Amino acid sequence: MPARGRAAAGPGEEKRQSPVKSCPICGKPASEANKPFCSPRCRDVDLNRWLSGSYAIPGRPLGDEDDE
């Protein structure tokens, strides 16, 4: 009983997807040196999100407190 279903992907049947992943931060194509991000900056942004424990907006800029 030949179980060669249709699920078998034939040669040259690759997914139509760009080999380059998009940067999860800004959506630009990731760079080899910084993948999956496009740049050290985006990598840093993602890291900060992790460190802050949530995907909240990073602290506001100092010296901009409206205290009264």
Q: Per CB under 5 A, does 30 bind Zn ion? A: no
Least CB distance to Zn ion at residue 14 (A): 25
Q: Per CB under 5 A, does 47 bind Zn ion? A: no
Q: Per CB under 5 A, does 23 bind Zn ion? A: yes
- Which phi-psi region, left, alpha or beta, contains residue 50 (left: φ > 0; alpha: ψ -120 to 50)? alpha
Under DSSP, the state recorded for 29 is B
Dig out the tokens for 16 from the structure.
Answer: 């139509």
Q: Which is nearer to Zn ion, 28 or 35 (CB)?
A: 28
Binding site residues, Zn ion, CB under 5 A: 23, 25-26, 28, 38, 42
